[in-house]
Amino acid sequence: MEKPQQSMVDLKFERDGLTLVIQPYTDIQEVISSIERLFAEMGNFVSEGDEVILSIPEGEKAADDLPALVAAVGKFGLNVAQVVVGRTRKTMKISDRTKKEATGRVSEGTKVVKRNLRSGQMVVHNGGVIVFGNVHPGAAIFAGGSVVVFGNLRGQVKAGLVEGETSVIAALEFSPTFLQISHFVMNEPPSFSQPAVAHVGTGRIVVEPYESVRFQDRGDKD
């Protein structure tokens, strides 16, 4: 059976940053068109100047095709920071989800959504996301930066996919089904009926009421 083309290339978030994983292939042209399709679907998730790690399969063939691959990624304004040969680390997959609906408006790097996000709806954005409304169970937010919900957060949030572990997730009422900040994951997060913040502290996600939160990184270093 023929494998679906989409699985040929995949964008994943690894410990070192955004990684474009290329599976073993036979035809370089197919890989390049898959890359183009993937970035077209991702919409504004990646923006010009972002760095990406290229993960290519082992073997001489891939090494020969490297310039063509770098050029394909470069067409979307991305810089290849590093090339990894073969697969070594555990990764988290994000690209599957981005095929679904993306909503809201981009302005100044932050996406502002002024409605309830319902089950099955999702927001994908490479910067921060602010939602004025509730995030219902079954809805999802994938953000490069921080996520702030002025309402009840009961869906799934992945934050810091670009900016890393300095990103936070905050909501007026806090009972999400799943949290991720950078590569840190939290299943069954605690619930708060008051404003609460999730952030990364001492190597894991910490969820605290807003009044008692102490950030390790206060975001004013630069």
Partner 1 sequence: MEKVFVITSGKGGVGKTTITANLGCTLAKMGDRVCLIDADIGLKNLDVVLGLENRIIHTVVDVATGRVKPEEALVKHKTLKNLYLLPASQIATKEMVSPEDMKQIVHELYPNFDYIIIDSPAGIERGFRNAVAAAEMAIVVTTPDLPSISDADRVIGLLESSGFDTGKIRLIVNRIKPKMVKRGEMLTKEDIVEVLAIQLLGLIPDTDEMVIATNRGVPVSLNGNEGVAQTFENIAKRLKGQPVNIEEDIPAEKLSFVEAFLRLFRRTRG
Residue placing its CB nearer to partner 1 in the complex, 117 or 181:
117
The CB-of-150 to partner 1 minimum distance in angstroms stands at: 14
Residue 91, both tokens: 């990764």
Report yes or no: 91 and 19 within 8 Å, Cβ to Cβ: yes
Residue among 115, 190, 191, 217 that touches partner 1 (CB under 8 A): 115
Question: Using the rule CB under 8 A, is 118 a contact of partner 1?
Answer: yes
Residue placing its CB nearer to partner 1 in the complex, 97 or 115:
115
Residue among 57, 138, 164, 195 that touches partner 1 (CB under 8 A): 138
Q: Which stretch binds partner 1 (CB under 8 A): 37-45, 104-112, 131-139, 213-221?
A: 131-139
What does DSSP assign to residue 45? G
CB contact set of 215 (below 8 Å; sequence gap of 6+)? 168, 199
Q: Which stretch binds partner 1 (CB under 8 A): 55-63, 86-94, 114-122, 175-183?
A: 114-122
Question: Using the rule CB under 8 A, is 193 a contact of partner 1?
Answer: no
Residue placing its CB nearer to partner 1 in the complex, 13 or 142:
142
Query: How far apart are alpha carbons 163 and 144 in whole angstroms?
Result: 6
Question: Using the rule CB under 8 A, is 116 a contact of partner 1?
Answer: yes
Report yes or no: 205 and 184 within 8 Å, Cβ to Cβ: yes
Residue 37, both tokens: 């399709």
Question: Using the rule CB under 8 A, is 175 a contact of partner 1?
Answer: no
The CA-atom distances, in angstroms, between 198 and each of 40, 49, 92, 139, 145 are 31, 28, 20, 18, 13
Residue placing its CB nearer to partner 1 in the complex, 87 or 136:
136
Report yes or no: 165 and 184 within 8 Å, Cβ to Cβ: yes
Closest CA to 142 of 199, 96, 186: 96
Q: Which of residues 59-98 bind partner 1 (CB under 8 A)?
A: none
Q: Which of residues 197-216 bind partner 1 (CB under 8 A)?
A: none
Query: How far apart are alpha carbons 15 and 18 in whole angstroms?
Result: 8
CB contact set of 96 (below 8 Å; sequence gap of 6+)? none
Residue placing its CB nearer to partner 1 in the complex, 76 or 178:
178
Residues near partner 1, by CB under 8 A: 101, 115-121, 133-134, 136-139
